[in-house]
Amino acid sequence: MTRLPSFCKISSNLLYSCKNRSLPLPPQVEFSRKNDPKPVFDYSLLRHYLSKRWHQEARNFLEKNHGVDFHERLVLWTSLVSKYSREGYVDEARVLFDIMPSRNIVTYNAMLSGYLQSGRLNEACQFFEQMPYKNVVSWTSMFRGLADSGRNDDARKLFDVMLERNVVSWNSLVTGLISNGRLDEARRVFDQIPNKNLVSWNTMIAGYAKNGRMEEARILFDEMECKNVITWTSMIAGYCRAGEVGEAYNLFWSMPEKNVVSWTAMISGFTWNGLYEEGLLLFLRMRFSDVKPNGETFISLAYACASLGFLSLGKQLHAQILIKGYDQDDFDGRLCRSLIQMYAVFGLMDLAHTIFDKNLTSSDSHSVNSMINGYIKLGMLHEAQTLFDKVPVRNRIAWTCMINGYLNAGEVLKACHLFDTMPGRDAIAWTSMINGYVQNELIPEAISLFAEMRSEGVSPLNSTYSVLFGAMGAMSYLDQGRQLHGLKSKTVYEDIVSWNSMIMGLSDHGMASETLKLYETMLELGIHPDSVTFLGVLTACGNAGLIDKGWELFSTMTNIYALQPGLEHYISMINLLGRAGKVKEAEEFVLKLPIKPNHAIWGALLGICGLSKTDTHVAKHAAKRLLELDPLNAAGYVALCNICATSGRHIEGTDLRREMSLKAAKKTPGRSWIILRGRVDVFLSGDRLDPQVEEMLFILSGNEID
């Protein structure tokens, strides 16, 4: 008969033993090498006995395989308690603890640590109370367990009654207080520590740095006699987090010793503060210093490449991540998220989607938002909606991105449906919807939604007022504008809306010099401009033909204030270049935009072509793209016809007008309006004359009717 291998015998015996408890299982014995007869026991069998609470079988196993020496047996059994606890078999460890014939303080501490490490705090507290004797390790373990679980008051009470304390105990108390935001109390405890060690100082300095209290952190740093790389790195990261990059950089080069963590902290500090080029340059210096980057380094570099538009470098970084295997150690998913955002910014959604699908378990709302944003910028609303419907949890940013995407595409009904079903609508979502109504020339709906926003108890933002002020100015809603201004004056928001209103007003009236002076005054007073401010100054530069100043402001908007240009800013730049006669440069600007140009952008480019007789090829290209997106765009046909007429191509112009007629593309007539006694009177080009129009014209001419 064929003999079964040992593991088969044990498996069959195990099954039999589960049915018949009276038959104990023999231990599995293995030999590491032929000349070494010392057995290595399979303790999973013992764990099985313990899980079934078969005390006698477990004792027989231990006594048979661990000899009779009392001390040796105590050490080995205690190590098993610790082993099972670390591996999560806390109940089995407790059974083993209970059947031990004798225990020492190490055994008790091993069992206590098992409860604490597995998060079973109540059982740990009960066990701690029942311990016949405790040492400083026991007290400190129990104290740290309470502090780590947020029970700081209980931890402090325990600390106060501790019979014996060491520096680890003191440091644990400081750490617990800092982690729960009780920084001042942590400092008082720090000052009481009798023999501070390096950990004491680093803990307190890191606490100040993470909470932005860099002055206090610096005082401790300067008092510290012996610093290590952790001390220096905490200070560098703290200064970067507080926006004091120059101070961090000076400290970085003062370090006597740098490691990959300190290099990465400084590189990350640059990218956190929008200094992407500096971050990449420091990375090159790091490589020349023979310090190898880690996954954290590449996270910052990916964001830097995305912000600077360095696609080739970004792909090289991704290749290095794959070669070094950093993607395999991306346990928190942060590296994956940085790559998804990088490719989404570049518009390479296939690559972004591939990474997203491979890391579904670690992808979070940040990755989802990056994907949706990327699709929307490319006009891929269907793909964005599919992903939006697919993910189980969607935050407010995802909802708002989808709403903005539909509004920018003119699909107002879909945006309204999303907005109506959005849970927890905040002021940003309301403002986005109001702005979308205004962009789609639904001014009464925007005003009505603003009233609903206030009735829902949502406080308007500065940008909410800015949007409505602009809309009311464009529609000459003077009375409503005054009411809105009165409402705004009663709020406590930063008064940037007033500055923007003045800047936009001066700009609309062609007063470029006054607009720019007001902008400079605003900066001198420490008021940060927003996207509305830059729209006003860019428009002013366009009206005055200040092309260099316009480029400078556009660069300042993105690089200094990290504001993402909107459609209106791009159109302002196109008009600026067109007024300066730089039509080719305007076309290049459009082709390099980070978003897919829509009909408004192509229409703006076509519009400036009418100012030049030499760039008809640009006009043809713009008109073709415009009419592809909007085949019934009468303004596009008219502009192209005018260009043909200007360049002497009358036959081509006639053909275009015939095509326009066949497609029933009609130009929207010009109109003007006036508000009188709360009623808006609108006059369209081609209207039949009002019966009283002759009287009105006569009065306007300065005469009177008898």
**Strand bridging mode 40-41 / 679-684:** unpaired
Of the candidates 402, 393, 410, 448, the one whose C-alpha atom is nearest the C-alpha of residue 429 is 402
Distance, in Å, from the CA atom of 89 to the CA atom of 82, rounded to the nearest integer, reads 10
Summarize pLDDT for 250-267 with one digit per residue, the tens.
999 999 989 999 999 999
The crossing angle, in degrees rounded to 10, of helices 496-508 and 462-474 is 30
Distance, in Å, from the CA atom of 359 to the CA atom of 362, rounded to the nearest integer, reads 5
Q: Where are the beta strands (DSSP E) in 166-216?
A: none
What is the distance, to the nearest Å, from the Cα of residue 140 to the centroid of all Cα atoms in its chain?
38
Of the candidates 545, 544, 521, the one whose C-alpha atom is nearest the C-alpha of residue 533 is 521
Q: Kind and range of the H or E element at 672? A: strand 671-676
Summarize pLDDT for 443-488 with one digit per residue, the tens.
889 989 998 998 888 888 777 887 888 777 767 777 777 778 777 7
Cα three-residue angle 197-201-204, rounded to 5 degrees: 140
User: Tokens representing 372?
Assistant: 């949706």
Summarize pLDDT for 594-631 with one digit per residue, the tens.
888 887 888 888 888 764 556 677 877 887 787 777 77
Distance, in Å, from the CA atom of 5 to the CA atom of 604, rounded to the nearest integer, reads 82
Summarize pLDDT for 508-562 with one digit per residue, the tens.
777 788 888 888 888 877 778 888 889 989 988 888 778 888 888 998 888 777 7
Q: Kind and range of the H or E element at 671? A: strand 671-676
> What percent of the chain is modeled with pLDDT above 70?
76
Q: Where are the beta strands (DSSP E) in 551-622?
A: none
pLDDT value of position 11: 33
Question: Cβ-count burial of 575 within 10 angstroms (0-12 exposed, 13-18 middle, 19+ buried)?
Answer: buried
For the chain, which domains are there? 1-133 (1.25.40), 670-706 (no CATH)
pLDDT value of position 37: 43
Distance, in Å, from the CA atom of 32 to the CA atom of 515, rounded to the nearest integer, reads 85
Beta bridge partners of 41: 29
pLDDT average, residue stretch 381-385: 93
The full DSSP string for 343-367 is HHHHT-HHHHHHHHHHTTTT--HHH
The full DSSP string for 407-418 is HHTT-HHHHHHH
Evaluate whether 357 touches 367 at the Cβ level (below 8 Å): no
Model confidence band, residue 686 (pLDDT cutoffs 50, 70, 90): low
Model confidence band, residue 688 (pLDDT cutoffs 50, 70, 90): low
**Strand bridging mode 679-684 / 671-676:** antiparallel
Work out the end-to-end distance of the chain between its first and last CA atoms, rounded to an integer number of angstroms.
Answer: 134
User: Tokens representing 17?
Assistant: 């033993």
Using alpha carbons, list the distances in angstroms from residue 371 to 335, 340, 564: 15, 7, 17
How many CB atoms neighbour CB 45 within 10 A?
Answer: 20
Quote the DSSP letter at residue 683. E
Quote the DSSP letter at residue 573. H
Using alpha carbons, list the distances in angstroms from residue 537 to 99, 495, 587, 605: 82, 18, 22, 20
pLDDT value of position 344: 92
**Is 497's pLDDT higher than 90?**
no
Evaluate whether 578 touches 606 at the Cβ level (below 8 Å): no
Q: Which amino acid is at 490?
A: K
Q: Kind and range of the H or E element at 681? A: strand 679-684
pLDDT value of position 647: 65
Query: Which 3 state secondary structure label does DSSP give 510?
Result: coil
Model confidence band, residue 406 (pLDDT cutoffs 50, 70, 90): very high
Summarize pLDDT for 111-149 with one digit per residue, the tens.
888 888 877 888 888 888 888 887 878 777 887 787 777
Distance, in Å, from the CA atom of 633 to the CA atom of 654, rounded to the nearest integer, reads 17
Of the candidates 43, 47, 14, the one whose C-alpha atom is nearest the C-alpha of residue 29 is 43
Name the pTM for this structure: 0.56
**Is 42's pLDDT higher than 60?**
no
Mean predicted lDDT score pLDDT of the chain = 78
